[in-house]
Amino acid sequence: MNKVDKFEDLRIWQEARELVKDIYLDFKDCSDWGFKKQIQDAGVSIMNNIAEGFERKSNKEFSRFLDISKASAGEVRSMYYSAEDLKYVDLETAQNRRNTAKYISGGISGLMNYLKTLNAHRA
């Protein structure tokens, strides 16, 4: 893995940023304010917890924030099922966003495993 000096260099953060933009665009005209706020908050939580954990400068803390970020990615995936069912978005959009969130979640898991490996070697 290449050395990363700032969270903006992390591919998972970059992908999360794109997902947040998509979420905001998907629901810009949605009048269900509670739903809209919840899914936007969950999306922002993905990218912000990656950033906040990275800035902690501790692998243990970073892993904890990545865990929160991964949970938020699951929340976004779940909410896109509701968005699809309620006809807030079409099937293709919902599937694309769920796939993106799943991809980000997999990247987060990979980074968490890498951090565990680093911690094991230091012990």
Nearest to 20 by CA among 97, 112, 102, 103: 97
User: To which H or E segment does residue 37 belong?
Assistant: helix 33-55
Domains belonging to the chain, first-starting first, are 7-122 (1.20.1440.60)
Query: What is the CA 97 to chain-centroid distance, rounded?
Result: 11
Would you put residue 12 in left (φ > 0), alpha (ψ -120 to 50) or beta?
A: alpha
pLDDT at res. 73: 98
Q: What is the DSSP letter of 97?
A: H
Model pTM above 0.85: yes
pLDDT at res. 122: 64
Q: How do the pLDDT tens digits run along the chain, 123 residues long?
A: 568 899 999 999 999 999 999 999 999 999 999 999 999 999 999 999 999 999 998 999 999 999 999 999 999 999 999 999 999 999 999 999 999 999 999 999 999 999 998 877 665
